[in-house]
Structure 1
Amino acid sequence: MRGLVFVIILAVAVALSGCGKTTSDHNSHNSHEVERADSATDNTEAVWTLSADHPSPNADVTIKVKIQDDSGKPVEQFDINHEKKMHLIIVSKDLSYFDHIHPEYQDNGEFTITTQLPNAGEFKMFADYIPSGGKATTKSNVVTVQGTAPAAETLVPDLEKEQMIDGKKVSLDFDSLQANKEVNMTFHMTDAQTNKPVTDLQPYLGAVGHVVILSEDAENYLHVHPTEEKAKGPDAKFMTSFPSSGNYKIWGQFKQNGKTFIVPFVVNIP
């Protein structure tokens, strides 16, 4: 894999090479349950190992993430964070592909999962975890899937912030849109046929929903939890702040009738 450099909000730039190692990102938790890569430093690092240096599209690849301290000793205890010890977010370089999966803890600081990546090209992975007694942390890694990558999709802000997803009409509203300012973000859901409010959302990973936000260049990463976790709809409310101006892609994740659904939006932050 060729070297890649990703700069995380005010953080030290880290060269990413191969499928092996990264210590690039750190997350902080605030009172609004926002996890973001930021300028704080932590005392853990992630060592990434993939079963193939350059995986093939739509072929099984096993991802191992070993968490260790700054002396190289495995971190062995992790807090449960929204029902899981690790959340792994995978996106394509152009943000057209999104997945949220959960590696299993194998002991000795190591998490593992087998998955597939859908096409050739570059993908970025974000591992969210909380070492026991520590802070919510994110580490990232970049992997290249072999072959000829499809043409990149252009990220275009949605003028109408309304989507039709699985028989539901989902709108997204903000009380304001401005960089470095707290923003209230509300997903509102109605049944597409009856136009009645959706009031039977089920908990997804212990909450009414989860939101992942990435800047267009995948440098600024936010994992946001709801302000009212036990809500069942029609509104799912979140609070966050966008660290800089530019285009961002937002994925809202919710559950109804035992099925998880994802609602994507693109917004421009002045």
Structure 2
Amino acid sequence: MKKMIFSILLTTAVLTACGKSVGSMDQTMKGGTPGATESANHSDKGGMDHKAMVTEADKTKAELVKATFTLSNAKPLPNQDTTITVHIQDKDGMSIDKFDVQHEKKMHFIVVSKDLSFFNHIHPDYKGKGEFTVTTQFPNAGEFELIADFVPSGLGAMTKTEWVTTQGSVPEQKAILPDASLTQIVDGKEVTLTFDHLMAGMELNLNFNMKDAQTKQPVADLQPYLGAVGHVVILNQEGGEYLHVHPLEEKASGPDAKFMATFPHSGVFKIWGQFQQNGKVFTVPFVINVP
């Protein structure tokens, strides 16, 4: 079975979409400054090939790549279409043309609010010459982290991140508190998350068990989502550590969907499991405290 690595995303400061023309933001700064990036070793098979820590080789590869995020509106507004362009270049500013397909896509793109209450996993279109574009909406005013997850051919998987601020009156931030119960009802499914053991620094198994919320019958007709029974995204409470997890048994159809991960340290993490049934993707969130 494959091990996993967290991509440590240093987000100690917040950038807004202002400051450059058309909201352009260059993400090459590291060492505790905004836009820091790391790489991860993904696997095209069950689970992901992750290590417990980012290696120096991973960091070196990540330093060969930079990403510039450009928003169609330098001051984006809630509930209005915003087109986000991500331009991937090498350290000399030349466009990187070739990207490996990971789970049916050349880029996975996560939009998450600072308080982790909003989550959106979308997939930009590749326009060629290192340019990806996607149009989306932010639900409210406030700070949002953009996470681009991709694999430049020959360099391994990596993530590049940016923070943006949408305009308007910011709603009260929701506290990120561990769930009292790890059972959620979403779209008529009763989903229970269990672990074989829950401890920082140890490889562990996550299992999502699904039943019909009314009949309590096992859900055994999950459909492939991006080529697998499901996908899991994990972020820590501060939004600085990101893990994109794929299932151990990609062809499973329920009622169990099993994953493997290693939490690098104790603390509060939010988990989003994504699955598909009857042609509709549903997302199940959980907040846990890792001892």
Asked if the contact 1:165/1:261 (under 8 Å) is kept, the reply is yes
In 2, the alpha carbon distance for the partners of 1:33 and 1:249 equals 19
SS in 1 for 2:40: strand
Identity over aligned pairs, percent? 54
Residue 12 (structure 1) shift: 9.9
Aligned equivalent of 2:26? 21
1:143 paired residue among 157, 160, 164: 164
TM-score, normalisation: structure 1: 0.92
More strand by share: 1
1:187 to 2:186 alignment? no
Q: Which shows bigger deviation, 118-127 or 35-44?
A: 35-44
Aligned equivalent of 1:33? 48
Aligned equivalent of 2:189? 168
In 2, the alpha carbon distance for the partners of 1:54 and 1:78 equals 30
Pick closer, same or farther for the CA change 1:72–1:94 going to 2, 3 Å.
same
2:281 paired residue among 233, 236, 260: 260
> Where in structure 1 do 4 or more consecutive aligned residues deviate above 2 Å?
8-19, 34-40
Paired residue type of 2:202: K
Aligned equivalent of 2:221? 200
In 1, the alpha carbon distance for the partners of 2:104 and 2:213 equals 31
Pick closer, same or farther for the CA change 1:218–1:181 going to 2, 3 Å.
same
Task: Provide the aligned C-alpha RMSD in A.
Answer: 2.0
Aligned equivalent of 2:136? 115
Aligned equivalent of 1:85? 106
1:67 to 2:88 alignment? yes
Residue 9 (structure 1) shift: 3.1
Number of aligned positions between the proteins: 263
Aligned equivalent of 1:9? 8
In 2, the alpha carbon distance for the partners of 1:236 and 1:175 equals 14
Residue 156 (structure 1) shift: 1.1
Residue 30 (structure 1) shift: 5.3
Residue 137 (structure 1) shift: 0.8
Asked if the contact 1:35/1:136 (under 8 Å) is kept, the reply is no
Query: 1:49-68, aligned counterparts within 5 Å?
Result: 49-68=70-89
SS in 1 for 2:128: coil
Pick closer, same or farther for the CA change 1:104–1:10 going to 2, 3 Å.
closer
Q: Which shows bigger deviation, 38-47 or 251-260?
A: 38-47
